[in-house]
Amino acid sequence: MQINPILMSINRIKAVLAEQGKTNKWLAEQLDRNQTTISRWCTNESQPPIQTFVKIAELLNIDICELFNSTKIKV
């Protein structure tokens, strides 16, 4: 059983930042986090805690649902 890595994207942080003309650096400054951490979230290498997703949505003035990929994972 193999999972397609393209379908493993859980969050859309990178896409939403791009849509709003914001950078990883901007988000790192707003959250007082390391840019490497933000980069790992943007590449879906790791995921922030749910409380951080809430804060990101607030900072970007969007519904939290917009931060998540709606594509179902196919196994």
* pLDDT at position 1 over 50: no
Which residues partner with 11 through β-bridges?
68
Q: Is residue 53 part of a domain?
A: yes
pTM: 0.82
**Structural domain containing residue 27:** 5-66
Q: Give the pLDDT score at 12.
A: 97
Counted domains in the chain? 1
The pair of three-digit structure tokens given for residue 39, joined into one six-digit string: 């980069």
Q: Is residue 22 part of a domain?
A: yes
Distance of CA 61 to the CA centre of its chain: 14
- Quickly state the pLDDT bin for 40 (edges 50, 70, 90): very high
Q: Is residue 71 part of a domain?
A: no
User: What percentage of the chain reaches a pLDDT higher than 70?
Assistant: 83
Q: Is residue 72 part of a domain?
A: no
5 vs 67, which has greater pLDDT? 67
Q: Is residue 35 part of a domain?
A: yes
CATH number at residue 47: 1.10.260.40
* pLDDT at position 20 over 60: yes
The pair of three-digit structure tokens given for residue 55, joined into one six-digit string: 């804060």
Query: Residue 60 and residue 31: Cα distance in Å, rounded?
Result: 12
Query: Residue 2 and residue 22: Cα distance in Å, rounded?
Result: 34
Q: Is residue 58 part of a domain?
A: yes
Q: Is residue 43 part of a domain?
A: yes
